[in-house]
Amino acid sequence: MNQNRSFIVQLQILTKRMLLRVIRRPLAELPNLIISAFFLFVYDGALGGVFGGTASGTPFDFAKGNFINFILPVSIVSASLSGAASGIYLVEDIESGVFKRYQSMPISRWAIILAPMNVGALRVLLQSGLILLIGIIIGADPVVGNIGFLVVLSVAFIWGMGFAGYSVAAGIKSGSSQGAQAATFLFFPAIFLAPTFVPREALKGWLETAAAYNPTTYVIEAMRAVMVDGWELDVLFRGYLAAGLFAALTLTLAVISARKATEKA
């Protein structure tokens, strides 16, 4: 028996255990996935006729002939919210006393906190990947080629980790699942105070201002750049920066909360 297990091995064991928990509750994965797919189909059905292929050459031709390319980023952003499950997983462990059991063992407390975040990251990749797959099946075709899908997934991953950090911080702070779930309430301002249905130039008044301050705007625009417009490096930079800053901020909050949670009272 090697009581001085490395941090990485501890993290692997705890992540595997957390994955088992997720696998045992497959239905818990469905709501966010269904909502994200629902957005894709409903928006395409409702708006694709107006802004889609038939809009070619008109002032509404911002989808450049493929409305799935235009609307897919919205569904991907929605799917990336699945990262918020990290906080819920962690709080479940705190509420059930499993967290305390691990604290009583000579293992890294950071491994206990990071394991649910690892699983949250996997969840973001899986759900975003599935939505991407559905998008491909129904006609998504990035203007920059298939590498565009990788760009979309990578931005979604960073963005999703931002939500993971937020949910972990909120969960630890509140000590309840409800607190962690509060992260999902960010969904509405994140999605709807952004150029979700039309480009930012088409927004007006207060919504245009709100969108300018909403980091989701830049995330969606970066994804749209590779899907619709091509390699617009400044737009891509702003997208990665917005997602990165959001993730850095919330993960810092998570670390601060976690440090307090693991300190002895």
Partner 1 sequence: MLAVDVKNIKKTFISKQDTVEAVKDVSFQVKQGEIFGLLGPNGAGKSTTILMITTLLSITGGKASVLGIDVATKDKEVRKKIGVALQDTGLDNLLTGKELFFTTCRLWGYSKKDSEVRTNQLLELVGLSEAADRRVKTYSGGMKRRLDLGLSLVHSPEILFLDEPTTGLDPGSRRVLWDEIKRLRDNGVTIILTTQYLEEADELADRIAIIDEGLVVAEGTSDELKAGIGGDVITFVFETNDDLENAKNILKNTVQEKNELRITVEDGASKIPGYIKDLSSNGVEVSSVSASKPTLDDVFLEVTGYRLEGSEDIKKVQEESKR
* Token pair for 143: 């203007």
Nearest to residue 129, comparing CAs of 82, 67, 183? 82
264 binds partner 1 (CB under 8 A): yes
27 binds partner 1 (CB under 8 A): no
116 contacts 168 by C-beta, under 8 angstroms: yes
Between CA 125 and CA 151 the distance in angstroms is 12
217 contacts 200 by C-beta, under 8 angstroms: yes
Give how far the C-alpha of residue 233 lies from the chain's centroid of Cα atoms, to the nearest Å: 22
Give the interface segment with partner 1, choosing from 12-20, 41-49, 51-59, 137-145 (CB under 8 A).
Answer: 12-20
101 binds partner 1 (CB under 8 A): yes
Q: Considering the complex, state which of residue 28 and residue 50 has its C-beta at the smaller distance from partner 1.
A: 28
Q: Considering the complex, state which of residue 111 and residue 132 has its C-beta at the smaller distance from partner 1.
A: 111
* Token pair for 198: 């039309």
Task: Determine which residue in the list 43, 67, 89, 102 makes contact with partner 1, applying CB under 8 A.
Answer: 102
1 binds partner 1 (CB under 8 A): yes
For CA atoms 150, 155, 158, 162, give the dihedral sign: negative
160 contacts 77 by C-beta, under 8 angstroms: no
Question: Using CB under 8 A as the criterion, what x/- string covers residues 220-249 for binding partner 1?
Answer: ------------------------------
Give the interface segment with partner 1, choosing from 96-104, 147-155, 180-188, 232-240 (CB under 8 A).
Answer: 96-104
124 contacts 161 by C-beta, under 8 angstroms: yes
Cα→Cα distances 59→54, 65, 102, 202, 232, Å:
11, 12, 60, 11, 21
Task: Determine which residue in the list 71, 77, 107, 114 makes contact with partner 1, applying CB under 8 A.
Answer: 107
Task: Determine which residue in the list 26, 57, 59, 106 makes contact with partner 1, applying CB under 8 A.
Answer: 106
Task: Determine which residue in the list 7, 8, 20, 230 makes contact with partner 1, applying CB under 8 A.
Answer: 20
10 binds partner 1 (CB under 8 A): yes
| Residue 210 beta carbon to partner 1: minimum distance, rounded to whole angstroms | 36
Task: Determine which residue in the list 7, 46, 50, 100 makes contact with partner 1, applying CB under 8 A.
Answer: 100
| Residue 228 beta carbon to partner 1: minimum distance, rounded to whole angstroms | 43
Task: Determine which residue in the list 19, 21, 41, 199 makes contact with partner 1, applying CB under 8 A.
Answer: 21
Between CA 152 and CA 46 the distance in angstroms is 23
Between CA 177 and CA 126 the distance in angstroms is 23
Place of tokens 């649910």: 116
| Residue 189 beta carbon to partner 1: minimum distance, rounded to whole angstroms | 32
Place of tokens 């696998």: 23
* Count of residues near partner 1 by CB under 8 A: 28
Residues that bind partner 1 (CB under 8 A): 1-5, 10, 13-14, 16-17, 20-21, 24-25, 93, 96-98, 100-107, 264-265
